[in-house]
Chain A
Amino acid sequence: MASSTLISDPVTNIMERARDSSKRRKKKKIQRQSSDGGRDQTTQNSSNNNNQIIPWKSEVQQQVYSSKLLQALRNVRISPGTSPPSVPRRGRAVREAADRVLAVTAKGRTRWSRAILTNKLTLKFMKSKRRQRGTAVTATGNSRLKKPRVSILKLKTKNLPAVQRKTRVLGRLVPGCRKQPLPVVLEEATDYIAALEMQVKAMAALADLLSGGSSSSSGSGTGTGAMILNQLSLRQPPSS
């Protein structure tokens, strides 16, 4: 129908732009593309929101994430010439790669995923300009979606300082949600929790597979394992 094509077009555009922009300068272009996508989506109806929700619990998403994670982890391993001796540094690198892959799997539709991707690049390239860019990011972020801010003080039942305090804490935990009003933080937290659960499941399955232990659920284990084997056979391993 016409309405569905209207809805699907900006979605596919965002996806393609996100993929292309991830190859070029990620930072500026992701903001621009997602800002265009954000404006399009807010002008359209809430029926668009249903398309935005990623089913994190589906097996497909987990496989998508697992394959991307494996690719990213291979890059993490290969790039450092001398592997950092300390375990925390390696673990940290793996954690950041996993978060980055999670954000990419989210396709940039949620605030936390965009925040993860932009933060990575901010830290990587421009440490000196970080403050300038940081304020620019928040400025564009606030004006981007044009949602009116409802501060917590104005809500009737949520007037308690305890709720405000906990919202601040929660905003700090979810990436990209500091200084966001309560409903935004709640929405982001909902999606973020589902994504984190999927991340934990995928990483646990991968760790089990690598350690050669018996996989807990044979169904998902064989699915993930077969897919990983495909990945390995397609890529040529570096000569030892």
Chain B
Amino acid sequence: MSTRRSRTRQSTTSRISDDQINDLVSKLQQLLPEIRNRRSDKVSASKVLQETCNYIRSLHREVDDLSERLSELLENTDSTQASIIRSLLSQ
């Protein structure tokens, strides 16, 4: 009963439609590398969400690895600047 009431209320006031959600899902789909390569037009929303979660987790892991690497590299001020200048001169 309360759900019916809230449903009618939300159907009149909600501006976000299914089409909009499908649009967002397809936009997200374009960003994901795996689904983009497969080139299948119809991918279920659940699959897109799953791939998104996996992709974000892998990106987080990459950032963690990179930040660890950077923290080791940034230890010494002098060597950092020297290495930067060295690499710039070698280019």
Contact = CB atoms under 8 A, between A and B. Distances in A.
- A associates with B: yes
Given A95-B64, A150-B16, 16 more contacts: A76-B74, A148-B14, A166-B49, A169-B49, A170-B56, A173-B56, A174-B56, A183-B20, A183-B24, A186-B25, A187-B24, A193-B56, A193-B59, A210-B70, A210-B73, A215-B87
A73 B57 contact: no
Contacts of A23: none
Interface stretch (A31-39, A125-133, A155-163): A155-163
B77 interface: yes
Interface string B68-81: 11111111011011
Nearest to A83: B75
A166 B90 CA distance: 48
Contact of B10 (A91, A94, A150, A174): A150
B31 A194 contact: yes
Contacts of A87: 68, 71-72
Contact of A183 (B16, B62, B66, B70): B16
Interface of A: 73, 76-77, 83, 87-88, 90-95, 98-99, 147-151, 154-158, 160, 162-163, 166-167, 169-170, 173-174, 181-183, 186-187, 189-190, 192-194, 196-197, 199-200, 203-204, 206-207, 209-215, 218, 221-222, 225-226, 228-229, 232, 237-238, 240
8 contacts: A92-B67, A95-B64, A147-B15, A170-B52, A186-B24, A209-B87, A215-B87, A240-B77
A182 B67 contact: no
Given A87-B71, A228-B84, A238-B77, A221 B91 contact: yes
Nearest to A166: B49
Interface residues of B, number: 52
Given A166-B53, A200-B63, A203-B70, A154 B7 contact: yes
Residue among B7, B13, B14, B75 with the highest chain A CB neighbour number at 10 A? B14
Most chain B beta-carbon contacts within 10 A, residue among A149, A186, A229: A186
A173 B64 CA distance: 15
Main secondary structure of the interface of A (DSSP, over half): helix
B84 A232 contact: yes
Q: Chain B interface secondary structure, helix, strand, loop or mixed?
A: helix
Given A193-B59, A210-B83, A203 B18 contact: no
Contacts of B13: 148
Contact of B87 (A88, A203, A212): A212
Contact of A156 (B15, B18, B81): B18
Nearest to A91: B68
B67 to A, nearest CB: 4
A210 B80 contact: yes
Contacts of A189: 28, 52, 56
A92 B67 CA distance: 7
B21 interface: yes
